[in-house]
Structure 1
Amino acid sequence: MIEEIRRFIRHPSSVPIQVKRGEEKKQVPLKDVSKGGLCFRSQVTLATGNVVEVNILTSKPTFTAKGIVSWCKLEGDEYLVGISFQNKAVRYALRMVEQICYIEDYKKRIKAKTGRQLTSDEAAQEWIQKYAADFPPLAD
């Protein structure tokens, strides 16, 4: 199952997300995001096949979708949980979030490298000019 998930390129992210399982909501760190889903760190194990609601509050508009726990594995003293999204519209929206993660990372790298503080709009414009053409298309 993990091999199937790995056919998508994963991208690191530091965006906090909210995961809702039943009535329980937890804010957890997003580990990475890809075309097929996302991975986050959890203090508790989640059963494969469980449905969870994922909210990425830093994206505007907020990304909210129901996903399925594809895998969960222990890594150190926490769990890595893989969530997949089956709906094409949700995968497209997640793709936009993936680009936001790239842009925010670009903004941080420019600040660290040059000291230049970009606004989110400036960072987006520069990132689009430099990298958008190389961004892989959304697969069906």
Structure 2
Amino acid sequence: MEFVAHPRDLPLEITLIEDQPFPQINKERAGFVGITSFTSRPFDNGRSVRITLEEIDPNFCVSGRVVQCEKEMDGYRISIEFPTKEECYCVRMIEQLSQIEHYRRQAKIAGRRLNYNEAAAEWIQKFAASFPAFTI
């Protein structure tokens, strides 16, 4: 199972929701299953959460399950899995867009001005092959 680290400069809105029944997850499955993200508050393992990301897509909204939440010096590192095929696929696509936007912002800090398409082309060439594949 692979989790992608969501960029800290694109904060997710993570909201606790009523626990939902998720299908059983095969712990041996390979490929992309979720994300890790930074949050200012802790979440209990096993709880259901709703995730939105206005900055990338105002219509993006998925539900997942907290699998780990660890205290760090300035907050919490949360791992969220997306057990359904549809949500997992949607999150993987949003994460690629988030990684491209993060890459564009880092280039700007380094003094390079890239539009989104230029950043996407560079990110794809450098990192797309190593981005976890979608498998369920």
Pairwise same-fold verdict (TM > 0.5): yes
Change (3 A) 1:63 1:35: farther
Q: Percent of aligned positions with the same letter in both sequences?
A: 33
- Residue 118 of structure 1 pairs with residue 114 of structure 2: yes
Q: Within the alignment, does 1:46 sit opposite 2:39 as a pair?
A: no
Counterparts in 2 of 1:3-42, with a 5 A limit? 7-8=1-2, 10-14=4-8, 15-22=10-17, 35-42=32-39
Residue of structure 1 in register with 2:84 after alignment: 87
**Distance in 2, Cα, partners of 1:134 & 1:77:** 29
**In the alignment, is the contact (CA less than 8 A) between 1:35 and 1:94 conserved in 2?**
no
Count of residue pairs brought into register by the alignment: 123
1:105 aligns with 2:99: no
Q: Which residues of structure 2 form unaligned runs of 5+?
A: 19-30
In the alignment, structure 1 segments of 5+ residues that lack a partner are 1-6, 24-33
CA RMSD of aligned residues (A): 2.6
Structure with bigger RCO (C-alpha 8 Å, 6+ apart): 2
Please say if residues 3 and 32 of structure 2, whose CA atoms lie closer than 8 Å, have aligned partners that are also in contact.
yes
**What do residues 87-108 of structure 1 show as CA deviations (whole Å, max 9, x unaligned)?**
1111111111221122123213
Alignment counterpart, residue 128 of structure 1, candidates 116, 124, 128 = 124
- Give TM-score, length-normalised by structure 2: 0.72
- Equivalent-residue separation in structure 2 for 1:97 and 1:68 (angstroms): 17
